[in-house]
Amino acid sequence: MSGAIDWRLLEQGLRRVLPAQAVVAAPQELLAYDCDGLTLQRHRPPLVVLPESTEQLAAAVRLTHQQGVPFVARGSGTGLSGGAVAEQPALVIATSRMRRILAIDLENHTITVQPGVINSWVTRAVAGDGFYYAPDPSSQVACSIGGNIAENSGGVHCLKYGVTNNHVLGLEVVLPDGSITQLGNGLAESSELDLRGVFIGSEGTLGIASAVTLRLLRAPQSVAVLLADFSSMEAAGEAVRLVTAAAVQPAGMEMMDRLCLEAVNDSLGLEEYPRDAAAVLLIELDGQQREVNAAIALASRLCSQAGARQVRVARASEQCARFWKGRKNAITALGRRYPSYYLQDGVVPRSQLPRVLAAIERLSAAHGLPVANVFHAGDGNLHPLVLYDPREPGIIQRVKELGAAILGLCLDVGGSISGEHGIGSDKRCYMDWMYSGDDLASMLLVRQAFDPRGLANPGKLFPTPRGCAESARRVQVLQLEGVSLPAEALVF
Ligand SMILES: Cc1cc2nc3c(=O)[nH]c(=O)nc-3n(C[C@H](O)[C@H](O)[C@H](O)COP(=O)(O)OP(=O)(O)OC[C@H]3O[C@@H](n4cnc5c(N)ncnc54)[C@H](O)[C@@H]3O)c2cc1C
């Protein structure tokens, strides 16, 4: 497909429909689009565009469709699965100039934004009126709403309030042929075939979200954060199990292990987390004052029962923020302390946490690579970070093998290979560990309905024959058996 592309012709066309500053072709400027948060894969795109409006975005997509050019949507590039990277030559369409808040409707608790708007800006825009936007990835000061939609992102508060999918009321989407459509009508209930859920989490393979209507929630009357520290990860895992099983619904429940705590304490100079702790658990409780008081008492008792050495409670907002600061910056702190990291994202049933954490420790020792754990414990959503030095020969292979072993472990206990970071190019070859050939074929048929030519973010999410021969072969067998699948999905 890429051999026949005339990039000069595409560039000329793009310069006709977009302002001059919206077309990026200079090699030194293209460098910024080499990778996303998954730094071990790098591919320079031949061309990038930065539209400012839906019309400009649609005009660029129409040109790619006319000329048969693949395209990759890009928000802020904080994704951790290689999703926003042009692995094969493709036009990157970045939304970083589509950062306007289009409408705020407090009467109906909604806000409509362009896709490049940064997650934390949404809450900032309505906080003064007592509202907030619940999905809060740890990257919320940098990641875009469009990226959140493509990955169906989660965050600390998704334990109680649900992930992105639960907060999107309407989407304007530029389809891969450049036409513009509306999914969902911006109301809580809609009468049409509801395709929002199909688009959310589709990782840019069905088109590009160009405007989004989000649900706003009223800020709770009272918030408290409980910080419990433990002398083992297993004990902290047991506390998660007990709290989850009890009649208390935390807004968030997050855990950090010793390596994380060391990095956070050193790099941020915090005093909040005991230096000799093997694990720290943060539990946020919100609601009416009396409800929060009762929840604090119960959660504290359960943490102690699991073996917590100390349980402290923050109620004032500055103290709560201090408790959260290390957790919110844990990945950055690890990035400063170690030359590089490979961040995995798997899910396990919460009841299996103590067993899985112990098994990860054994895998880390067997592979000879340190693994730090910082994760959404209440959701069973693990984020093991394999720490490594990229200068070591053969290291990438070893790192990826350990990452794969951890995902295999998640599946063995009834979990999943992704909680919130998506599949992208990083985990596409593991898709058939989890899904049958029939499952994958059904997903590809949905993709074909939106994108018959396979131009939107090709090579992502699904196994590809060149990248992962074994899993892709099973999809090809289905095609030979008469199931019609988009050729582009199979030839990359
Ligand atoms: C330090 C750190 C902490 C993180 N913490 C969390 C966390 O707690 N929870 C969590 O879920 N994730 C987390 N992430 C991962 C990442 O921030 C999220 O996946 C985020 O949603 C990506 O947004 P982005 O704007 O950076 O998207 P990008 O990385 O630019 O793109 C991600 C995917 O979205 C597609 N895309 C982008 N914009 C659009 C659009 N408008 N329409 C269609 N497709 C589009 C791209 O093609 C790509 O496939 C973290 C990342 C980092 C680096």
Q: What is the pLDDT of residues 91-130, one digit of tens each?
A: 999 999 999 999 999 999 999 999 999 999 999 999 999 9
Which tokens in the block code for residue 327?
A: 């957790």
Looking at this protein, which amino acid is placed at residue 258?
A: R
Looking at this protein, which amino acid is placed at residue 212?
A: V
Which tokens in the block code for residue 9?
A: 């012709």
* Nearest to 206, CA basis, from 179, 187, 185: 179
Is residue 186 one of the residues assigned to a domain? yes
Ligand 1 close to Cβ of residue 380 (< 6 A): no
Which tokens in the block code for residue 175?
A: 């389809």
From CA 407, how far away is CA 418, in angstroms rounded? 9
Distance from residue 481's CA to the centre of ligand 1 (Å): 36
- The DSSP call for residue 461 is S
In the predicted model, is pLDDT for residue 225 greater than 50?
A: yes
b/e code 173-183 from CB counts within 10 Å (16+ = b): bbbbbbebeeb
Instruction: Decide: 133 and 123 in contact? Cβ < 8 Å.
Output: yes
Ligand 1 nearest-atom number relative to CA 420 = 11
The residue from 163, 194, 218 where one domain ends is 218
Distance from residue 35's CA to the centre of ligand 1 (Å): 12
From CA 174, how far away is CA 208, in angstroms rounded? 5
Integer-rounded Cα radius of gyration of the chain: 23
Is residue 464 one of the residues assigned to a domain? yes
From CA 475, how far away is CA 492, in angstroms rounded? 13
Ligand 1 close to Cβ of residue 153 (< 6 A): yes
From CA 162, how far away is CA 10, in angstroms rounded? 41
Is residue 108 one of the residues assigned to a domain? yes
From CA 59, how far away is CA 14, in angstroms rounded? 8
Ligand 1 nearest-atom number relative to CA 421 = 19
Distance from residue 383's CA to the centre of ligand 1 (Å): 15
User: Hey, is 409 helix, strand or coil?
Assistant: helix
Ligand 1 close to Cβ of residue 202 (< 6 A): no
pLDDT band at 2 (very low <50, low <70, confident <90, very high): very low
Q: Using CA of residue 449, residue 454, residue 456, residue 457, what is the dihedral sign? A: positive
Based on the fold, state whether residues 239 and 313 are members of the same structural domain: yes
CA 143 to the chain's CA centroid: 9
Tracing tokens 């539990």 back to the chain, one arrives at 283
From CA 81, how far away is CA 37, in angstroms rounded? 7
Structure confidence by residue, pLDDT tens digits, 290-331: 999 999 999 999 999 999 999 999 999 999 999 999 999 999
* Whole-Å CA distances, 439 to 80, 161, 256, 392: 24, 29, 35, 39
Ligand 1 close to Cβ of residue 331 (< 6 A): yes
Based on the fold, state whether residues 310 and 255 are members of the same structural domain: yes
CA 439 to the chain's CA centroid: 22
Based on the fold, state whether residues 74 and 113 are members of the same structural domain: no
In the predicted model, is pLDDT for residue 396 greater than 90?
A: yes
From CA 208, how far away is CA 34, in angstroms rounded? 20
Based on the fold, state whether residues 316 and 254 are members of the same structural domain: yes
Specify the number of domains making up the chain. Answer: 4
User: Hey, is 21 helix, strand or coil?
Assistant: helix
Distance from residue 244's CA to the centre of ligand 1 (Å): 28
Ligand 1 nearest-atom number relative to CA 73 = 47
| Domain CATH code at residue 132 | 3.30.465.10
Cβ-based burial of 317 (10 A; exposed 0-12, middle 13-18, buried ≥19):
exposed
Based on the fold, state whether residues 107 and 203 are members of the same structural domain: yes
Ligand 1 pocket test: pick from 64, 120, 153 the residue with the most ligand atoms within 8 Å of its Cβ. 153
Based on the fold, state whether residues 110 and 214 are members of the same structural domain: yes
Structure confidence by residue, pLDDT tens digits, 148-180: 999 999 999 999 999 999 999 999 999 999 999
Q: What number of other Cβ atoms are within 10 A of residue 15's Cβ?
A: 14
Residues 6+ apart with CB under 8 A from 376: 154, 155, 156, 158, 159, 252, 253, 254, 383, 419, 420
| Domain CATH code at residue 51 | 3.30.43.10
Ligand 1 close to Cβ of residue 343 (< 6 A): no
From CA 476, how far away is CA 470, in angstroms rounded? 10
HSE-CB of 191 using CA atoms within 13 angstroms:
0
Instruction: Decide: 214 and 110 in contact? Cβ < 8 Å.
Output: yes
What residues pair up with 342 in beta bridges, in sequence order?
386
Q: Using CA of residue 310, residue 316, residue 318, residue 321, what is the dihedral sign? A: positive
Residue 189: give the domain boundaries: 101-218
Is residue 139 one of the residues assigned to a domain? yes
* Nearest to 207, CA basis, from 54, 415, 325, 3: 54
pLDDT band at 478 (very low <50, low <70, confident <90, very high): very low
The pLDDT, as a whole number, for residue 488 is 44
Which tokens in the block code for residue 393?
A: 């020969």
From CA 245, how far away is CA 254, in angstroms rounded? 16
pLDDT band at 260 (very low <50, low <70, confident <90, very high): very high
Based on the fold, state whether residues 235 and 321 are members of the same structural domain: yes
Based on the fold, state whether residues 106 and 90 are members of the same structural domain: no
Ligand 1 close to Cβ of residue 57 (< 6 A): no
pLDDT band at 471 (very low <50, low <70, confident <90, very high): low
Is residue 70 one of the residues assigned to a domain? yes
Least confident of 22-26, 426-430, 460-464: 460-464
Based on the fold, state whether residues 12 and 38 are members of the same structural domain: yes
Is residue 312 one of the residues assigned to a domain? yes
Q: What is the arrangement of strands in the sheet containing 310-314, beginning at the earlier edge strand?
A: 310-314, 222-230, 279-287, 252-257, 371-375, 384-388, 340-343
Is residue 275 one of the residues assigned to a domain? yes
| Domain CATH code at residue 257 | 3.30.70.2190
The pLDDT, as a whole number, for residue 480 is 45
Which tokens in the block code for residue 490?
A: 């199979």
Distance from residue 118's CA to the centre of ligand 1 (Å): 11
* φ, ψ dihedrals at 73, nearest 5°: -75, 145
The pLDDT, as a whole number, for residue 350 is 87
The pLDDT, as a whole number, for residue 317 is 92
Q: What is the mean pLDDT of the chain?
A: 92
The residue from 331, 358, 381 where one domain ends is 331
Q: Atom 41 of ligand 1 has which residue's CA nearest to it?
A: 146
User: DSSP letters of 198-259?
Assistant: HHTTSTTSS-EEEEEEEE-EEPPSEEEEEEEEESSHHHHHHHHHHHHHSS---SEEEEEEHH
Ligand 1 close to Cβ of residue 254 (< 6 A): no
Helix (H) or strand (E) holding 386: strand 384-388
Least confident of 357-366, 430-439, 461-470: 461-470
Based on the fold, state whether residues 214 and 112 are members of the same structural domain: yes
The residue from 303, 331, 359 where one domain ends is 331
Ligand 1 close to Cβ of residue 176 (< 6 A): no
